[in-house]
Structures are given as structure tokens and as C-alpha cells.
């Protein structure tokens, strides 16, 4: 199965790709209504690779595994179980076990950050007692320092290629599990970021990325209307963030396609041809054209900025400072 992920920059309209591909009979939407970000999120797979190999140290690397486990088993586990069900726990555990050579009973100071309140009370009371006794009775403070004999530390694998192979097995297991009807393509939402994409291509076999961008004037207006917390209301700050998100964005990769939201709507046929060619799809598979992706509905989200003259000063500022990103049909 080939994996297609649509990605964007917040309010850029990337979800229209998901809707469009649902109209093809050889596609399966693997993560409907859920973003699947475990490759790119902080403490996800990419951060894990960095700390296991680029920032390798027996303490940094083993603690990176603990942070990954906390992220995938605690902080965002509800989202992952909504997508993958209980299979998430199974395959995630298999993956983690496959990148650990062995574990042993020990801990270091970074582990103290993760103690529960009761564990902290135990730790600091024991330390205080030991210090007091050492001063009164002259007992060495170097003795009996292991307060948590059941805590574990890990030695992760040290071969990057082996790690990448384990990640590929992990992602393949997850997505094949969701492909109940054995479709040729699986669609996953926001699997990789819209920048530095090449770093993430190695994590998933047969990955295709479609990056959707949009006129900054409409992004700004939509963010204001939705009170979207991803952007500041201050137009100068918005322009800085918009530009910063796109620095170094374009990557020359045959498995990455860049497309404008406006073109998907206003130049529909050309855009469809471009996507079909990119994914090597025969047009005959597009059997439900217009069922999920409505051109007329999407047109209402183009040139929003013209409908709100009260923001004309902000729009003029955007036009002067983000000229290269404005859409001109």
C-alpha cells in the first residue's frame, strides 16, 4: 500500500485533499477526522532518532525513549487509540522493545523530574534524613543512594539503519492494520510537517506528500474569524510567522507535490490532472467526483479578504510584506 499524506501550514486548506481522494475507489482514508502526528511531534519518532544518534549519550538517549513512551502512552494516547484502537499499544510496544538492547535497574537525575508527588516526598525526606544522620553520627553520605531500586534505564540500539528499519516495520504494521479493504492507497492526515520533508520520507515506505498552501490574506482573515490560537491578531506578527513557516520550504523530490488551495478550486481540472499524474492514478478510479470535495462550497473560502473591508489596513500590510505568497490566477 502507498501512503498519501496531505499537509499544510494551519488554515491553508490541506483537508480538501483528504476529501478529494475519498472520491477515488482505490483509496482508503486511514485517519478520518484525526491528525496523525507521531512522526513529527515533539518527543515523537524524529526527535527519538535525533537523540539516539545525532545527540547520542547514554543518558540523553535512554531518556529520549522515556519521553517517547510518555508521549505515546500518556499525553497523546487517546488520539492514537481513536485512530488505531488497541493495536496502537501492541505495535508501539513492539517497536520500543525492538530499539532497546537491554534495560537495567538504575536512574539518574532527569528521572527525578517525572516522580509523582508521593515519590518526591519519599525522595526528599530520605535525602534530608541521610544528611542529618551523616552530620550527627558521621555516617557517610555516599552510602545507600539508590532510592528507587525498581526504576529502569535503557541501552538503545546504536545503528541508525536498524532504527529506520524498525520504524518502517512499525508504520507499515499500523497502516496495514487500518487498510481493511486492501486498497492501493491509504490517506493519512498531517503525517509529516510541510518543511524538512526529506527527513521524514525514510520513516514510511511508499510515502507521497501533498503540501497545500493558501493566500496569506485569506489565512489571516480565516484565523481572525475562527479566533484561531495558532496565529496572533497583530498583522506584523502574523506576517513574520507566515514567512518563517515557509523558509526553505520547497524541496525537489518526486514524491512531494506542492499545490495551491486556490488552484484546486479555480483550476480544478488542471489540479486533478496534476494529482493523478503525481500519484500515477487512472482517472477511471475517480468514481465519486464532487461527492466529498465541493467546488462551490470551497469557492466561498477564496478571497475572503474582499468581504471584510474593516480589515483593509491589515490586508494592505500583508500585500506589501508577503507579495511573493499572494495568489494571482
Which pTM was predicted? 0.90
pLDDT tens digits for 264-296? 999 999 999 999 999 999 999 999 999 999 999
Distances (CA, A) of 257 to 5, 207, 278, 296: 11, 12, 7, 24
Report all structural domains of the chain as residue ranges with CATH numbers, in order of start. 2-99+163-325 (3.40.50), 107-150 (no CATH)
Beta bridge partners of 259: 212
Contact indicator for 126, 119 with CB cutoff of 8 Å: no
Average pLDDT of every residue of the chain: 92
Which of 203, 228, 279, 199 lies closest to 6 in space, CA to CA? 279
Residue pLDDT, tens place only, 82-113:
999 999 999 999 999 999 999 998 888 888 78
- Residue 284 makes CB contacts below 8 A (sequence gap 6+) with none
- In the predicted structure, residue 158 carries a pLDDT above the cut 70: yes
pLDDT of residue 200: 96
Burial of 254 (0-12, 13-18, 19+ CB in 10 A): exposed
What is the structure's pLDDT at 77?
A: 87
- Predicted pLDDT of residue 144: 53
Beta bridge partners of 209: 5, 256
Residue 121 pLDDT level (bands cut at 50, 70, 90): confident
Q: Provide the pLDDT for residue 149.
A: 73
The terminus-to-terminus CA distance of the chain in angstroms comes to 36
pLDDT digits (tens, 9 = 90+) for 159-213: 999 999 999 999 999 999 999 999 999 999 999 999 999 999 999 999 999 999 9
Residues in the chain: 329
Q: For residue 251, is pLDDT > 80? A: no
Amino acid at each position: 500500500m502507498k501512503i498519501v499524506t496531505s499537509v499544510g501550514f494551519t488554515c491553508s486548506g490541506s483537508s480538501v485533499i483528504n476529501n478529494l481522494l475519498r472520491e477515488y475507489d482505490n483509496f482508503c482514508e486511514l485517519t478520518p477526522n484525526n491528525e496523525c502526528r507521531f512522526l513529527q511531534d515533539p518527543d515523537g519518532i524524529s526527535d527519538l532518532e535525533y537523540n539516539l544518534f545525532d545527540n547520542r549519550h547514554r543518558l540523553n538517549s535512554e531518556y529520549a525513549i522515556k519521553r517517547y513512551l510518555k508521549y505515546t502512552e500518556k499525553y497523546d494516547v487517546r488520539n492514537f487509540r481513536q485512530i488505531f484502537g488497541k493495536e496502537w499499544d501492541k505495535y508501539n510496544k513492539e517497536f520500543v522493545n525492538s530499539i532497546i538492547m537491554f534495560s537495567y535497574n538504575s536512574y539518574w537525575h532527569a528521572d527525578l523530574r517525572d516522580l509523582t508527588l508521593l515519590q518526591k516526598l519519599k525522595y526528599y525526606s530520605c535525602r534530608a534524613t541521610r544528611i542529618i544522620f551523616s552530620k550527627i553520627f558521621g555516617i557517610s553520605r555516599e552510602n545507600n543512594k539508590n532510592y528507587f531500586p525498581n526504576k529502569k534505564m535503557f541501552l538503545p540500539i546504536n545503528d541508525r539503519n536498524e532504527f529506520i528499519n524498525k520504524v518502517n516495520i512499525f508504520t507499515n504494521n499500523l497502516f496495514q492494520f487500518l487498510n481493511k479493504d486492501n486498497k492501493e492507497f491509504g490517506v493519512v492526515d498531517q503525517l509529516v510537517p510541510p518543511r524538512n520533508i526529506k527527513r521524514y520520507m525514510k520513516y514510511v515506505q511508499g510515502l507521497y506528500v501533498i503540501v497545500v498552501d493558501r493566500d496569506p490574506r485569506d489565512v489571516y482573515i480565516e484565523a481572525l474569524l475562527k479566533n484561531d490560537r495558532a496565529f496572533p491578531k497583530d498583522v506584523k506578527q502574523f506576517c513574520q510567522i507566515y514567512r518563517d513557516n515557509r523558509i526553505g520550504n520547497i524541496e525537489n523530490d518526486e514524491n512531494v507535490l506542492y499545490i495551491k488551495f486556490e488552484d484546486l478550486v479555480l483550476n480544478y481540472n488542471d489540479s486533478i490532472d496534476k494529482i493523478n499524474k503525481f500519484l500515477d492514478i487512472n482517472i477511471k478510479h475517480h468514481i465519486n467526483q464532487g461527492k466529498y470535495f465541493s467546488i462551490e462550497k470551497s469557492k466561498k473560502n477564496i478571497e475572503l479578504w474582499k468581504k471584510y473591508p474593516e480589515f483593509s489596513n491589515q490586508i494592505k500590510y500583508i500585500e506589501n510584506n508577503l507579495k511573493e505568497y499572494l495568489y494571482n490566477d
